[in-house]
């Protein structure tokens, strides 16, 4: 598949935006400015960027606790996201959701989620809506290796398979469920193998290679749009930081971290781009600089935004007590 | 249009059919809501219409593009209904027996209930979860619970418990049209109850209790079947010269506090009657409501009549002992009414 320059540039830009956002969030969290928990996506950028580039604005995604990258790749405004992480009234969810619950329905982003495995049925629901209404929209469910041990995974993949729902199940196998290695917690070497139990294609792709992810996603999306049903796409990837910020990560070795850092998705892309003459390194440097500025602006926006009013807790829910 | 006497089951079926005719985004899904999915020899007819036949004929009328038989995967299909609601449909999903909530509770209380709030009002989840409650049919511990208090505990969910065919239809239509997730509890021992129900669609508002019988001497509040238990008790007490006011809550959340407190202000005596277990249940919640908001109007202690704190037993003699009865309610009222 030959990708045009515009698409290639866009893939890189999305990865760079996610990376800049996450590195900044890490600093802000360390500086004590962000309440609650944050789970950083750095290292996995190629997955969100590659998959979401295969979607239309009207398609849906369902995310998880490590959701910032998915939000950004689906077009959610980083300023609103940053304000949400700061707990401000201008946040994507008016400060009521926080990192683990960022959603932007208008952008087809149906929510990060604090419950591992909770997104599978919701993604089936978005697929069901498309099927009932006769549109050719698709939905994507992003999840980690750990979530494939939840009952909801097996129930939902089966449901999507028997109803031929237009759902793409994107497993981000980053090697660890919290502090537990996938080799301990999953009974098969590859998550994609589990697709066979439900009669759907299971595809393995290098999750550090955005072009490879994108090409695999385009195929799965085409299959879903054509009414042929779901695909399980396993992206082998790695998270650079802990399960949450503050995790000492004693379960990782230095060698392992370095091995993956050497295959950093932005660096891999740069290597490919320069070799194939897609985009010059000067152009990519310019994108990096623009993204850094964009994220600085997002922080400034968040910090200068008003706090929510305490009494706003009573809106957006029925209250009878 | 006519107002025939029909069963509660028919009233529920009519409500769903009429809303599905009115609004193409209303879909029905659940285990065997039609039944026999994919079997050519049925020629599109429903094999079941739900385990007790409540939704029979809906699949045949609307086809399998709007009536979805599901595998036995409650998390997946209840969750799919939630995801569909958040993306533009109005699903009516059946969780067959409320006792099955244990296999899908996360989707209901962490997803459906909280989405609108967590997302800062940017999502709406117009969903109805229909589910059966109640004892009296020998269905025993895992098919007879009255677990509505568990759902009523959660902000973001509305909980509705009809006691008549008329209310069942009107409340279900209101629930389907509501933009929040509603859990709609149907007492399985009441499906055969008949009452006058208009043929045309109509709504009964959520969050409004109804005074079923005016009285002077005490107020009894019932839920679903215990509304009728209270009315039977009122008939017994009338012969003794005691006048019992009976309130049907109809919705547990939102709760119509005003109707309860106004009645208690008049009668000065209060009995909460509930088929559920007593701890952290609706009867205790209502007792707390009256104690905190109307203590100075009370002339006697509050009484509750509930099931005991045991699972629902199987043997009919044990089950009858378990369930609230008119005599137990009458005895509770007698204990607080001066002769």
Distance spanning both ends of chain B, measured CA to CA:
48
pLDDT band at A321 (very low <50, low <70, confident <90, very high): low
Angle CA(A82)–CA(A173)–CA(A161) in degrees, nearest 5?
A: 100
pLDDT for the residue B276: 98
* Out of B81, B83, B120, closest to residue A92 by CB: B120
* Fold exhibited by the domain B210-334: Rossmann fold (3.40.50)
pLDDT for the residue A2: 76
pLDDT for the residue A318: 87
Q: B123 and A103 in contact by Cβ < 8 A? A: yes
| Chain segment A205-252, per-residue pLDDT in tens | 999 999 999 999 999 999 999 999 999 999 999 999 999 999 999 999
Dig out the tokens for A177 from the structure: 């469920």
* CB contacts < 8 A (A, B): 155
A68 domain residue, yes or no: yes
* ipTM rounded to 2 decimals: 0.94
Mean pLDDT of A97-124: 97
* pLDDT at A1 exceeding the cut of 70: no
Angle CA(B117)–CA(B118)–CA(B119) in degrees, nearest 5?
A: 90
A119 domain residue, yes or no: yes
| Chain segment B175-202, per-residue pLDDT in tens | 999 999 999 999 999 999 999 999 999 9
Rounded to a whole number of angstroms, the distance from the CA of A285 to the nearest CA of chain B is 35
Parent domain of A49: 5-314
pLDDT for the residue A98: 96
- Whether cis (ω within 30° of 0) applies to the bond prior to B254 is yes
Answer whether CATH 3.30.1600.10 is correct for domain B5-196.
no
Q: Is B143 a catalytic residue?
A: yes
Rounded to a whole number of angstroms, the distance from the CA of B114 to the nearest CA of chain A is 8
| Chain segment B290-330, per-residue pLDDT in tens | 999 999 999 999 999 999 999 999 999 999 999 999 999 99
Dig out the tokens for B291 from the structure: 């104690």
Q: Where are the domains of chain B?
A: 5-196, 210-334
The number of folded domains in chain A is 1
Dig out the tokens for B152 from the structure: 């009523």
Surface-to-core class of residue B113, CB atoms within 10 Å of its CB (0-12 exposed, 13-18 middle, 19+ buried): buried
Q: Tell me whether A126 touches chain B (CB under 8 Å).
A: yes
A201 domain residue, yes or no: yes
pLDDT band at B1 (very low <50, low <70, confident <90, very high): confident
Nearest residue to B57 via CA among B86, B40, B34? B34
pLDDT for the residue A319: 81
pLDDT for the residue A49: 98
pLDDT for the residue B315: 96
| Alpha carbon distance A190, A192 (integer Å) | 5
Over chain A, what is the mean pLDDT? 97
| Chain segment B236-290, per-residue pLDDT in tens | 999 999 999 999 999 999 999 999 999 999 999 999 999 999 999 999 999 999 9
* pLDDT at B74 exceeding the cut of 80: yes
* pLDDT at B339 exceeding the cut of 60: no
Question: What CATH number did the domain enclosing A30 receive?
Answer: 3.40.50.970
Pairing assessment for the beta strands A139-144 and A202-206 based on DSSP bridges: unpaired
pTM of the model: 0.96
Mean pLDDT of B62-80: 97
Rounded to a whole number of angstroms, the distance from the CA of B30 to the nearest CA of chain A is 12
A320 domain residue, yes or no: no
């Amino acid at each position: 598949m030959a990708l045009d320059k515009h698409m290639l540039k866009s893939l890189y830009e999305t990865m760079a935006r996610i990376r800049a956002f996450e590195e900044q969030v890490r600093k802000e969290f360390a500086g004590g400015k962000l309440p609650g928990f944050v789970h950083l996506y750095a290292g996995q950028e190629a997955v969100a960027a590659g998959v979401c580039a295969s979607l239309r604005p009207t398609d849906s995604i369902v995310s998880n606790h490590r959701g910032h990258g998915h939000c950004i790749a689906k077009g959610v405004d980083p300023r609103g996201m940053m304000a949400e992480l700061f707990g401000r009234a201008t946040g994507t969810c008016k400060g009521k959701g926080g990192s683990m619950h960022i959603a932007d329905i208008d952008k087809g982003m149906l929510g990060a989620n604090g419950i591992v495995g909770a997104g599978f049925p919701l993604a089936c629901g978005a697929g069901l809506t498309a099927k009932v209404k006769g549109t050719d929209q698709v939905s994507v469910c992003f999840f980690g290796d750990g979530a494939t041990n939840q009952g909801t995974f097996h129930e939902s993949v089966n449901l999507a398979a028997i109803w031929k729902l237009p759902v793409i199940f994107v497993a981000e196998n980053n090697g660890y469920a919290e502090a537990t290695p996938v080799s301990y917690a999953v009974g098969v070497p590859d998550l994609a193998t589990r697709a066979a139990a439900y009669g759907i294609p299971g595809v393995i792709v290098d999750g550090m290679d955005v072009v490879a992810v994108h090409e695999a996603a385009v195929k799965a999306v085409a299959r879903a749009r054509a009414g042929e049903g779901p695909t399980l796409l396993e992206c082998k990837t790695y998270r650079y930081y802990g399960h949450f910020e503050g995790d000492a990560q004693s379960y990782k070795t230095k060698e392992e971290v370095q091995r993956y850092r050497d295959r950093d998705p932005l660096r891999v892309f740069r290597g490919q781009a320069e070799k194939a003459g897609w985009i010059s390194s000067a152009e990519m440097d310019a994108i990096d600089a623009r993204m850094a500025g964009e994220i600085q602006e997002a922080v400034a926006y968040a910090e200068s935004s008003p706090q929510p009013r305490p009494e706003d807790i009573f809106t957006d829910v029925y209250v009878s007590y | 249009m006519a107002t025939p006497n029909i069963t509660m089951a028919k009233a529920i079926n009519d409500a769903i059919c009429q809303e599905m005719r009115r609004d193409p985004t209303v879909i029905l899904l659940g285990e065997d809501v039609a039944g026999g999915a994919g079997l050519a020899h049925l020629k599109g007819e429903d094999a079941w219409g739900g385990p007790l036949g409540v939704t029979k004929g809906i699949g045949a009328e609307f086809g399998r593009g709007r009536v979805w038989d599901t595998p036995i995967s409650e998390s997946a299909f209840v969750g799919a209904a939630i995801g569909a609601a958040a993306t533009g449909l109005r699903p009516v999903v059946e969780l067959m027996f409320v006792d099955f909530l244990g296999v899908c509770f996360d989707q209901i209380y962490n997803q459906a209930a909280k989405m609108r709030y967590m997302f800062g009002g940017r999502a709406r989840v117009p969903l109805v979860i229909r589910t059966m409650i109640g004892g009296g049919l020998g269905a025993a511990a895992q098919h007879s619970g009255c677990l509505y208090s568990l759902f009523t505990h959660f902000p973001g969910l509305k909980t509705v418990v009809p006691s008549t065919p008329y209310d069942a239809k009107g409340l279900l239509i209101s629930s389907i049209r509501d933009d929040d997730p509603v859990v709609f509890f149907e007492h399985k021992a009441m499906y055969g109850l008949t009452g006058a129900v208009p043929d045309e669609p109509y709504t009964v508002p959520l969050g409004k209790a109804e005074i079923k019988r005016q009285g002077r001497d005490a107020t009894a509040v019932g839920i679903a079947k215990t509304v009728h238990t209270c009315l039977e008790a009122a008939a017994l007490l009338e012969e003794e010269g005691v006048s019992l006011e009976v309130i049907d809550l109809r919705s547990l959340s939102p709760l119509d506090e005003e109707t309860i407190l106004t009645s208690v202000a008049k009668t000065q005596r209060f009995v909460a009657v509930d088929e559920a277990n007593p701890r952290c249940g609706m009867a205790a919640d209502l007792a707390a409501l009256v104690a905190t908001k109307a203590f100075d109007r009370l002339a006697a202690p509050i009484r509750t009549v509930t099931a005991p704190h045991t699972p629902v037993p199987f043997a009919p003699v044990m089950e009858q002992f378990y369930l609230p009865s008119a005599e137990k309610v009458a005895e509770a009222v007698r204990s607080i009414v001066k002769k």
